[in-house]
Amino acid sequence: MNEALHSLSDNFNAFLDGLNAASWRLLELPLFVLLLGLIAVFVVVWQCLRLSYSRIYPGAELRVAYLWAALAFFLLAVALVADHKIVSTLNEVRGIYTQQVIMASQRTADVKPKPPVTDPTVKQQLVNYSPNCLYDPAGAEQALGKVFGEFHAVGEALHEAVDYVVIQAQDPGRSELVILAFLAIVDLTNDDIEIKITPSLGEKYPTTDFARHEGCLIAINGEAGKSPMPGSGFGEWIGNWIVRGKPIMLESANRRPFLVFDHGNRAKYYGKAVADQPPPPDTYNALWGRWDILLDGRNLGLGVTARKPRTVMGIDESGDTLYLLVIAGGNAGYSLGTSLANAAGIVRAFGATNAMGCDEGGSAGLYLSKFDRTVNHLPGKLERGTYTHFGIATGASKQ
């Protein structure tokens, strides 16, 4: 039953993706083509109205009906032309913003020489080595090349314990669609970092507000519950939540995967199959997700056709490296999003062996103190609030 529902959901999402992409293609047609199309539709409708109304409204009333029909189509044509101009302008702005995001990372990155890559599947190479060596650049290049084919990625050091990578790639299923991903890689063994988690259950609020209050270098969204509405409650999306040794919520009935961190920040992953176990006694921090997407290095291949904004938390085999990934989405002119399978492929390419998909869609957000906002959102976009958040503070910013 669950497999059938997943298949139905994937097919529906694929239909919406196709409808979205087709609409954008139509809007990209030249104006004269749009107007010719409108004229053709107008003629057809005019003839239908003439044939039907001549029987119902003889004489002058028919001319009035024609007038209203002509006026309606004229207004529609004006609206479409105006909409086309607006969309064209927005696309230019989005393109410029995307390039600025990539170039900003490239300018501040510590560029180092790279060894040659011989794998023929690699179409493009990462611009930089990891400044902190928190990932294997050549291995990441090859793995990303196998997932996406065409891609461009830039890495930089935000801190001696934190690397940041921006990835722009073509959708593997539809080359006309763009995927924009933002990945933070954290060395959990560094004594200068501190894990920050929402300390109590209250009202939903944006990740940016949480990050500013907690002095975070980076932060991601947690759980928004069963709907985007304020006060919606968690519904079925509940799990284990511990902050500095204090349990805020302990819930194993729904078997949601979770990450635990001990006093030394060493991490351990608990997948759905063992999520009914209580967190170990030495747990200092813990937060849950929604689904297993990567288990012991194996990509579970979830939601292959569904394209959405995503948030992912993962760790490497040792539990010493943390991966925080957010994929922008919801806008075909900027980034439509991607599947959980592709999201798992990204974090695995950089060294993760276990990862969970967290709340997604409009809730997805990765905050960087460098920009003082969530980098996956276009400037001016309203940020959606969540009940929980996760962040990393460093040095003087720690509270």
239 in any annotated domain: yes
109 in any annotated domain: no
At 196, the pLDDT band (50, 70, 90 cuts) reads: very high
Dihedral Cα 213, 215, 218, 220, nearest 10 deg: -20
Domain containing residue 381: 119-397
Whether the pLDDT of residue 64 is over 70: the answer is no
Q: Where are the beta strands (DSSP E) in 217-266?
A: 218-221, 241-243, 246-249, 258-261
Per-residue pLDDT at 215: 96
At 178, the pLDDT band (50, 70, 90 cuts) reads: confident
> In the structure encoding, which two tokens stand for residue 313, read together?
């938390």
Comparing 282 with 92, which gets the higher pLDDT? 282
201 in any annotated domain: yes
Share of the chain above pLDDT 90, in %: 44
Per-residue pLDDT at 395: 80
Model pLDDT for residues 330-362, shown as the tens digit of each residue: 877 778 899 999 999 999 999 999 999 999 988
Whether the pLDDT of residue 7 is over 90: the answer is no
Residue 56 sits in the same domain as residue 181: no
At 206, the pLDDT band (50, 70, 90 cuts) reads: very high
Residue 57 sits in the same domain as residue 198: no
Least confident of 18-22, 122-126, 323-327: 122-126
At 226, the pLDDT band (50, 70, 90 cuts) reads: confident
Residues in the chain: 399
Comparing 100 with 209, which gets the higher pLDDT? 209
Residue 73 sits in the same domain as residue 186: no
Out of 24, 59, 94, a domain closes at 94
Residue 247 sits in the same domain as residue 183: yes
Residue 60 sits in the same domain as residue 177: no
Per-residue pLDDT at 118: 34
Highest-pLDDT range among 33-47, 76-90, 123-137, 275-289: 275-289
Comparing 148 with 36, which gets the higher pLDDT? 148
Least confident of 23-27, 195-199, 228-232, 275-279: 23-27
At 262, the pLDDT band (50, 70, 90 cuts) reads: very high
Q: How many domains does the chain have?
A: 2
User: Contact, 288 vs 240, CB < 8 A?
Assistant: yes
Highest-pLDDT range among 3-12, 172-181, 208-217, 244-253: 208-217
107 in any annotated domain: no
What φ, ψ does residue 353 adopt, rounded to 5°?
-115, -20
Comparing 2 with 231, which gets the higher pLDDT? 231
The dihedral built from the CA positions of residue 398, 201, 212 and 193, taken in this order, carries a sign that is positive
150 in any annotated domain: yes
Q: Mark 29-67 as b/e (b = at least 16 C-beta within 10 Å).
A: eeeeebeeebeeebeeeeeebeeebeeeeeeeebeebee
Least confident of 62-71, 286-295, 323-332: 62-71
Per-residue pLDDT at 322: 98
> In the structure encoding, which two tokens stand for residue 14, read together?
């694929």
Highest-pLDDT range among 26-35, 91-100, 173-182, 266-275: 266-275
CA 62 vs. chain centroid, Å, equals 53
Out of 94, 111, 128, a domain closes at 94
Per-residue pLDDT at 116: 32
Residue 63 sits in the same domain as residue 160: no
Residue type, 101: V
Per-residue pLDDT at 127: 43
Whether the pLDDT of residue 325 is over 70: the answer is yes
Comparing 60 with 226, which gets the higher pLDDT? 226
Whether the pLDDT of residue 112 is over 60: the answer is no
Whether the pLDDT of residue 239 is over 50: the answer is yes
In the sheet where 246-249 sits, what is the strand order? 246-249, 241-243, 285-288, 258-261, 267-270
At 305, the pLDDT band (50, 70, 90 cuts) reads: confident
Q: Which of 377, 273, 382, 384 is nearest to 330 (CA)?
A: 377
Out of 77, 94, 111, a domain closes at 94
User: Contact, 353 vs 200, CB < 8 A?
Assistant: no
113 in any annotated domain: no
User: Contact, 80 vs 29, CB < 8 A?
Assistant: no
222 in any annotated domain: yes
Measure the CA–CA gap between 339 and 17, rounded to whole angstroms.
12
Residue 257 sits in the same domain as residue 213: yes
Per-residue pLDDT at 121: 32
Per-residue pLDDT at 107: 47
Measure the CA–CA gap between 308 and 364, rounded to whole angstroms.
10
Residue 129 sits in the same domain as residue 271: yes
Q: Say whether pTM exceeds 0.95.
A: no
Mean pLDDT of the chain: 79
